[in-house]
Amino acid sequence: MQHWAMSQAKGTLYLVATPIGNLEDITRRALRVLAEVEVVACEDTRRTRALLEHFGIRAKTVSYHEHNERERAAELAALLERGAAVAVVSDAGTPGINDPGYRIVCAAAERGINVVPVPGPSAFVAALTASGLPTDEFYFGGFLPARAHARRQKLAALRDLRATLVFYEAPHRIALALADAREILGEREAAVARELTKIHEEVVRGRLGDLAARFSIEGAARGELVLVIDRVVIEEESGVEEGATASVAVRVAALEAEGLDQRAALKRAARELGLTRDEAYRRLTSERARSKSEN
């Protein structure tokens, strides 16, 4: 077991989350820690200095990025061993989440140095919670592979996972990723969260095929993006489909035909489909609205 307890002589490593767009998302604790530490290790010193200046903080900064992460981690660990307080920040969001951070945490943990997270924004959490897709179980896959073959293999490996899938994706690849996901995972509900917390923030919800068409239009996918995809639909032994793409309306109608009132039918359908009652109600309403607009 790792020993994480604070040692008197050794310093402390703080992992400080910073905004992913809107500067109001900085926490008071982040500001205090950044003002108090001896060194702020940052991905891009110019970018972090601008952030610190915005909040009137003077701090010594050193670079800590993917190209010097290994050597820097050892140097920072030596500093921490001598009792310094060091903060790690990335360009945006939570350090260590598809950003440098992991190596310095390992180096600190190995040396029994106290590691303190200072939580705050992370794009994948913001996207998942705003997507409207189930949040009870999810898989965060970081960036999907850039190459088509590897991307498709990755998606195929996740096809049967009963969890909402969350990925970071680049604007010039989002349409391809959506089309691959449609082909490999089958049609599912999904959401693309774009420019979260910024002026052009939007969360576009729809089926994979529709989103692929929408984001293949030139200019539709500007900025930073998170892709969220609904979990697999499983055919249960009972013959009832489970999951987000199963039709709540169809099941409710069948149960009503068996004599249940709407309330009881919805409750039963929710249980059979593995949904909360609120979720089932939301889907029932949107499915009925969709079928009305299609007729």
**Would you count residue 45 as binding ligand SAM (CB under 6 A)?**
no
**Would you count residue 131 as binding ligand SAM (CB under 6 A)?**
no
144, 225, 228, 248: which one binds ligand SAM (CB under 6 A):
225
Q: Cα–Cα distance between 164 and 190 in angstroms, integer?
A: 9
**Would you count residue 123 as binding ligand SAM (CB under 6 A)?**
yes
**Would you count residue 27 as binding ligand SAM (CB under 6 A)?**
no
Give 227's strand partners. 167, 192
CB of 218 to ligand SAM, least distance (A): 19
| 99 φ, ψ (degrees, to nearest 5) | -150, 160
CB of 10 to ligand SAM, least distance (A): 26
Question: Of 270, 271, 293, which is closest to residue 280 (Cα–Cα)?
Answer: 270
Six-digit token string for 5: 């307890």
**Would you count residue 93 as binding ligand SAM (CB under 6 A)?**
yes
Q: By beta-carbon distance, which residue lies closest to ligand SAM?
A: 93
**Would you count residue 86 as binding ligand SAM (CB under 6 A)?**
no
β strands within the chain, DSSP E: 12-16, 39-42, 60-63, 85-89, 114-118, 138-143, 164-169, 189-194, 202-207, 225-229, 234-235, 241-242
12, 90, 114, 131: which one binds ligand SAM (CB under 6 A):
90
Q: Cα–Cα distance between 165 and 226 in angstroms, integer?
A: 10
> Looking at 6-14, 56-64, 195-203, 263-271, which segment touches ligand SAM (CB under 6 A)?
195-203
Count of residues of this chain found to bind ligand SAM when the rule CB under 6 A is applied: 22
**Would you count residue 42 as binding ligand SAM (CB under 6 A)?**
no
Q: Cα–Cα distance between 128 and 193 in angstroms, integer?
A: 9
How open is the CA angle 145-197-147, to the nearest 5 degrees? 10
> Looking at 77-85, 178-186, 189-197, 251-259, which segment touches ligand SAM (CB under 6 A)?
189-197
The half-sphere exposure of 262 on its side-chain side, counting CA atoms within 13 A, is: 5
**Would you count residue 98 as binding ligand SAM (CB under 6 A)?**
yes
Binding site for ligand SAM (CB under 6 A): 20-21, 90, 92-94, 97-99, 122-124, 168-169, 193, 195-198, 224-226
